Structure 1
Amino acid sequence: MRHHTSMSRRRLLRAGGGIGLAAAAAPLLSATAQAAPEGFRTRVTDLGPGIVQFALMSGIQVGDTVYIGSRNLTPTRVIGFHLPTRKVVSQTEIGYGHSIQALAADKDGKYLYAGILTKGDEGKPNLFRWDLSTPDKPAVGVGRTEDRDIRELAVAPDGTVYAVGGIPGKAPALWMYDPADDKMTNLGIPDPKATLARAVAATDKTVFFGAGSVLSGGGEASKASLYAYDRAKGTFSNVTPPELQKDPSLRELAVVGDRLVVGTSGSTQPAKLAVLDLADLSSYKVKTTEGKVVKNLTAKGDVIYFASDAGLYSYSAATQALAPVEFDGPDLGEIWGLDHADGKLTVVSGYGFVGEIDTAAGTSVITELGKAGAPLSPQTAMGIAADDKYVFVGGNNVITRHELGTDTVVNLRAPGEAKDAELLAGVLYTGQYSSQGIWAYDPSDDKQPHQIASFPSEQNRPLDICHDPVNRLMLVGVQSDTEGGGSLWTYSPKTGKKRAFINPVDDIQLVRAVATREGIAYLGGDNPTTKGPRGTVVAFDPVVGKELWRIDLPDSLTTGVAALAVQGGNLYGLTRKGGFFVIGLRARTVVHTADHGDICPGFAAMVTSRGRVYGVSDTTLFRFDPKTFAVSKVVPEINGAWYSGPHVNADSDGRLYTLRGHDLVRIDDKKAS
């Protein structure tokens, strides 16, 4: 979804989050050149891995060891971090899938269960069991849920395992794995309008199922729902407190003594924390929190601790007092694990460290996992951009900065995911997921990126950013995961003025792509659900917030817009399955269409460089002829290791940057003389 209005403009990344401050050297590995049949000479230079870190997505303390699941690394794995020695002492490889979001242990601490996000590895297990008494032996696959992705696990006192998750386009079910007969069973779909389940807890009699629509929300999709499953009768009962029903989704559940603790994901309103009496679920207390999420629940006595996007908090069930946890340590970033034992909180941070917080003294000890022995390996990426000095690659909670000429690589900490960004006069501007607005980073002055503008929190997923040089505005296309539709953000780097135009396409289509020419913004609409319109292109005045005209793409282009780019008087576009179109901006009509699904089977990105539009898919880097619009392969089988769709960008000289496998590559594609 990259696009230039001139080849001399500085551009930057489509970034994601990841752990930070790890430094490494990325040597110039290789360069190859080839002459293409069309008279181009293409030189590909390998710059080494784009991102190297131990990225993580889950954590749980069992005894004196914290077990941590990897995120977007190959292979997926679980490591054991030993608290007394502060060293990584064990690990097991799963071998496929992209992340491990769910970890749960049985009451004796003998077995650790791991649920993975599988990337559609059909037929393979997505539930694994690791015998912690023999950690040198690998975890084994014990079952598969048809929902594909496991988002949360719970182990009942008798050892029965319950799993929840989801798959796009299908309501989530409650799944049970019985170790006694080694079988996985679908126990039913309690909420047919939910799009994802991320919370489950179990007692000897009841399983609690929490769902909602934090992804693909809006329309007829349900909001937060809590169901109680009677293990003896095999029936579901809706026990959602009314105060929670307006939140998009249940985010976390935990059984604490004789209480059920519930955390939600907020959207237009802050998230809620609820404490229910297990003996009488109609008896409960609800507390509105400071942030947009309540997760990673743990407790000491009547004090409940939880993680939020606003920080780490405690809640007294006796007094209903809510307070931030004060300590002397650094920003914890995105928290993926939280446990309490012996007066200390153990925090697993998405920045790649484990924090031990003494709640009485307010002190902390921070251990970087890479230095403690966690395996560092290349991560899948979310964005790339370059100017004449730096190339930036984005991952989870990280933006990796590659300094050209010196081969110096630095991992910058950026919470969540910098989905896309722009370089202007050497300063980086990013759209940060989730609900974090626009951040900035000046390599000459800043140690770390920082927030400069916030926007309505339900407009949480920025997808594409470009600079409008006429109006001197940053333009950001956005998706609302929870409410449906999306928005266009505008931001002036000079004045700091910001605006958000909600649903500029319609109340169903998000804004996946943004391009600009002569002060007009071109918005590409998409729809993540199976119903409703998709593939509308809107010309929009970003100063007054007024639609100028729109085009609904032809029926032959049946999927939503994936990327836009401007070259001359034409707007180029790719759909999510390789449909290609060109709109003549003067005539405001579609002047060309084609099917490029063979080289562009899914999401795509485009950039204008040296007078031509280039595109990249999961498989191929290609260019379009500016007169005939014919497509030519530039680098076949580039097969970039992407997390949320491919990316390509160009520096001020027009050289392209993307991924080949996990490696950052520079492509110098010139017309042969």
Structure 2
Amino acid sequence: MGRRQLLVAGGALGLGAAAAPLLTAPAQATSEGPSSCTRVTDLGPGIEQFALMSALQVGDTVYIGSRNLEPTRVIAFHLPTRTVVSQTVLGTGHSIQALAVDPTGRYLYAGILTKGDEGKPNLFRWDLATPEKPAVGVGRTEDRDIRDLAVAPDGTVYAVGGIPGKAPALWMYDPATGKVTKLGTPDPKATLARAVAATDTKVFFGAGSVLAGGDGASKASLYAYDRATGAFADITPPEMEKDPSLRDLAVAGHRLVVSTSGSTEPAKLAVMDLADPSSYTVTTTTGKVVKNLTAHGDTVYFATDTGLHSYATTTGAIAPVAFDGDLGEVWGLDHADGTLTVVSGYGFVGEIDLATGRSVVTDLGRAGAPVVPQTTMGIAADHRYAYVGGNNAIARHDLRTGQVVNLRAPGEAKDAEVLNGVLYTGQYSSQGMWTYDPAKGGQPHQLADFPSEQNRPLDVCHDPVNELLLVGVQSDTEGGGSLWTYAPRTGRKAAYVNPVDGTQLVRAVATRDGVAYLGGDNPTAQGPRGTLVAFDPVAGRELWRLDLPASLTTGTAALAVRGRHLYGLTRKGGFFVVDLTIRRVVHTADHRAVCPGFAAMVTSRGVVYGVSDTTLFRFDPKTFAVSTVVAEINGAWYSGPHVNADHRGRLYTMRGHHLVRVEDGPVI
């Protein structure tokens, strides 16, 4: 059989499964809120899939951790039968990024990304000898999120991760005593640790600033922890110190394989002598990230944002590994018996025969993985379709038929707009802008790239005067942010870095009469926050700026324009109105009761609407007073709430895990 035949025969249409239609229940309409003119229509789950964030092969089974699904779970995919044969529900946190197995192959450990859940375990153990019994919580690290796990040959477990505002530590779990112990914080300026590996005598700790970079945060760092003495030694190769973070570590025989995430430079791959870490080789790759390290003999296999590659430790040569299709974001890579098993964020398992180059792809949903509603990101809509962003997918809701199709798009569609029937998205991380035209079919594709360190698009809006798409962006690794502009008609693009200042990112963008209004935010503990900048998006220059009153002490969360007024919300419910003709704040209020954190705003039919994690609300156009439109909307968001409007002014947002359309009566 040819490679293409195997792709189909190997499981459920493989790559095409991501576009399989998922039918929702019929829409249900209700009237609620303070006005009987408010009509809420339930359009069904926003996006449904088995999203994943980790994978590890143990024997003939691949264990896969879920991503942004509630509850969290690990599934077991049996390679010989290509079916999901068991699963365990962990029930805490939102994602599982770290998996490791003990030397006997019996116990699988899972580390949780929690976003809170104070006091609950973030380290779990599943007895693979009795998979019908659920995994149990065995401990908790003080670093809220566990990003990586390693098990030493004697069964001791080591964990790394992080919590905002605190340097990451190395943690140890002793199965004999059941205790979790903090072993130290080797890099006090790091913001996150994402890699750990262990031997009989050493533990290797990789950290950096892939999140909350800038403001003096560390770049890539690698430390060796002596298990006998408890001392840390800095063994970072100087060639890696410019990259923002250590990304992955693996012990391969007498070698330690080390990789980084790149930013202003491509990512690096190093091979170090375990007995003498000063003896090493470093190779620069073509990608911006090197991860999922696995070795066989003298060959190291790894994934980048450009695909799979092999590295020959004897010659230093890097070569691509052929695969007939798009792997997207890779979250698992293992080698066994001449076959690479790769787990894609698109929701499939690929098996690549290295001798023949043939591949078999199995869609996890059709193999028995639970396809359930996911927490969501950006939303956009027009008269025919509504779009909801998830991980490695965008759900397209047909507003006429109710049919839902999952489109493939790597990373995350953080925000989006629809212009003349065409979808435009800002894609995290370092994916630039993507587009999808339903009239042409196919899948979304990249429209424009931008400086890779400007990696997190946050807000997308359309400037009809200059015919530009405007995108506010954060740089996770370098600090600050940028404004992207793109002209759909001509294809012209530009990126204006740090238009607010060197520490403030651009959290929100609004436009009026061809002027872009940028809302600054600062994730660090020091420096200004909440600065507003009026910006010429064609000339690329500042027109004027305004600092918010001292009472509004947190950064900008959202902006919207109505007439001559610029409305704004801060990240803790502060509200302000700027009269753009006199460039002065003319109104402030505290709306934490309806907006306790992040928010989004949109202007529709002459009214500014806002949504928070809890409530959909509106502002009176004359008095600026707030009133509730839908209470307890409680959208299941991953990276902050969103609201958007179609050409008729109907609003789209999330209520729980469901997409809803809200038609609000006139408010004048």
TM range (shorter): over 0.9
* 2:416 match: secondary structure: strand
Cross-structure match for 1:290: 286
* Inter-partner Cα distance in structure 2 for 1:19 and 1:239: 45
Tell me the amino acid that sits aligned with residue 34 of structure 1: E
Instruction: Give the counterpart letter for 2:635 in structure 1.
Output: G
Q: Write out per-residue CA displacement over residues 601-624 of structure 1, whole angstroms, 9 at most, x where no aligned residue.
A: 110000111110000000000000
Matched, 1:595 2:596: no
Alpha-carbon offset, residue 672 of structure 1 = 8.1
Q: TM-score, normalised by structure 2?
A: 0.97
- Residues 266-277 of structure 1 aligned to structure 2 (within 5 Å): 266-277=262-273
The amino acid across from 2:502 in the alignment is D
2:522 is aligned with 1:527 = yes
Report deviation, 1:431.
Answer: 1.1
Q: Which residue is equivalent to 2:419? A: 424
- Which runs of 5 or more residues in structure 1 are unaligned? 1-17
Task: Determine if contact 1:276/1:285 at 8 Å carries over to the other structure.
Answer: yes
Q: Give the letter for the 2:463 counterpart.
A: D
Question: Residue 235 of structure 1 aligns with which residue?
Answer: 231
Matching of residues 329-408 of structure 1 within 5 Å? 329-408=324-403
Q: Residue 209 of structure 1 is aligned with which of 205, 211, 215?
A: 205
Aligned to 1:629: 624
1:348-402 C-alpha deviation (Å, 9 max, x unpaired): 1000000001112111000000000001110000021110000101100000000
- Higher normalized contact order (CA 8 Å, seq sep 6+, divided by chain length): 1
For 1:175-574, list aligned pairs within 5 A. 175-327=171-323, 329-574=324-569
Q: Would the alpha carbon gap of residues 337 and 29 (structure 1) be closer, same or farther in structure 2, given more than 3 Å must change?
A: same
Q: Distance in 2 between matches of 1:143 and 1:672?
A: 53
Residue 438 of structure 1 aligns to which amino acid in structure 2? M
Q: CA deviation at 1:40?
A: 5.7
CA distance in 2, matches of 1:209, 1:500: 35
Give yes or no for contact 1:505–1:536 (8 Å, CA) kept in 2: yes
> Residue 41 of structure 1 contacts residue 672 of structure 1 at CA under 8 Å; is this kept in 2?
no
Q: Is the 8 A contact 2:92 2:120 kept in 1?
A: no
CA contact (8 A) 1:248 1:267 kept: yes
Residue type of the alignment partner of 1:89: V
What does residue 22 of structure 1 align with? 20
- Cα deviation 1:435-488 (Å, max 9, x = unaligned): 111111101003101112111111111111111111111111111111000111
* Distance in 2, Cα, partners of 1:455 & 1:343: 38
Determine helix, strand or coil for the equivalent of 1:133: coil
* Greater shift in the superposed pair: 425-434 or 76-85: 425-434
Distance 1:451 1:251, change over 3 A: same
> TM-score, normalising length from structure 1?
0.96
Q: Which residue of 2 aligns with 1:668?
A: 663
Amino acid at match of 1:379: Q
Supply the AA of the counterpart residue of 2:316. Answer: Q
Contact kept in structure 2, 1:40 and 1:671, CA below 8 Å: no
Cα distance change of structure 1 residues 672 and 622 upon mapping to structure 2, 3 Å threshold: closer
User: Number of paired residues?
Assistant: 653
User: Contact 1:22 / 1:53 at 8 angstroms: preserved in 2?
Assistant: no
Whole-angstrom distance in 2 between the partners of 1:19 and 1:148: 35
For the residue of structure 1 that corresponds to 2:239, the secondary structure is helix
Structure 2 residues without counterparts, runs of 5 or longer: 1-15
- In the other structure, the counterpart of 1:613 is 608
Q: Supply the AA of the counterpart residue of 1:612.
A: V
**Do the aligned residues in 2 keep the contact of 1:291 with 1:309 (CA within 8 Å)?**
yes
Q: Is the contact made by 1:19 and 1:351 (CA closer than 8 Å) also made in structure 2?
A: no
Letter matched to residue 158 of structure 1: D
Tell me the CA shift for residue 263 of structure 1: 0.5
Structure 2 distance, partners of 1:198, 1:20, is 29
The letter of the residue matching 1:27 is A
Cα distance in structure 2, aligned partners of 1:99 and 1:648: 24
Aligned mates of 2:73, 2:566 — CA distance in 1: 44
User: d(CA) in 1 for partners of 2:380 and 2:138?
Assistant: 42
Q: Say which SS state the counterpart of residue 370 (structure 1) adopts.
A: helix
Please report how far the alpha carbon of residue 661 of structure 1 lies from its aligned counterpart in structure 2 after TM superposition: 0.5
Q: Distance in 2 between matches of 1:32 and 1:576?
A: 31
Does 2:98 correspond to 1:102? yes
Quick one: structure 1 residues 22 and 73, their matched pair in 2 at CA, closer, same or farther if it must change by over 3 Å? farther
- Residue 208 of structure 1 deviates from its aligned partner by 0.1
- Separation in structure 2 between the aligned mates of residue 129 and residue 54 of structure 1, nearest angstrom: 21
Letter in 2 for 1:663: H
Match of residue 41 from structure 2: 45
Contact residue 328 and residue 345 of structure 2 kept, 8 A: yes
Give the conservation status (yes or no) of the 8 Å contact 2:474–2:481. Answer: yes
Amino acid of the residue matched to residue 173 of structure 2? Y
Opposite residue 265 of structure 1, the aligned amino acid is S
1:294 partner amino acid: V
| Partner in structure 2 of residue 169 of structure 1 | 165
Q: Distance in 2 between matches of 1:87 and 1:310?
A: 28
Q: 2:578 aligns with which of 579, 583, 587?
A: 583
Match of 2:154 in 1: 158
Counterparts of 2:427 and 2:46, CA distance in 1: 20
Distance in 2 (CA, whole Å) between partners of 1:208 and 1:20 is 38
Question: 1:19·1:53 contact (CA, 8 Å) conserved in 2?
Answer: no
In structure 2, give the amino acid aligned to 1:86. Answer: R
> SS of 1:397's equivalent?
strand
Contact 1:160 1:176 in 2 (8 A): yes
Residues in 1 aligned to 2:33 and 2:562: alpha-carbon distance in whole angstroms: 24
The one-letter code sitting in structure 2 at the alignment partner of 1:94 is L
Q: 2:99 touches 2:108 (CA, 8 Å); kept in 1?
A: yes
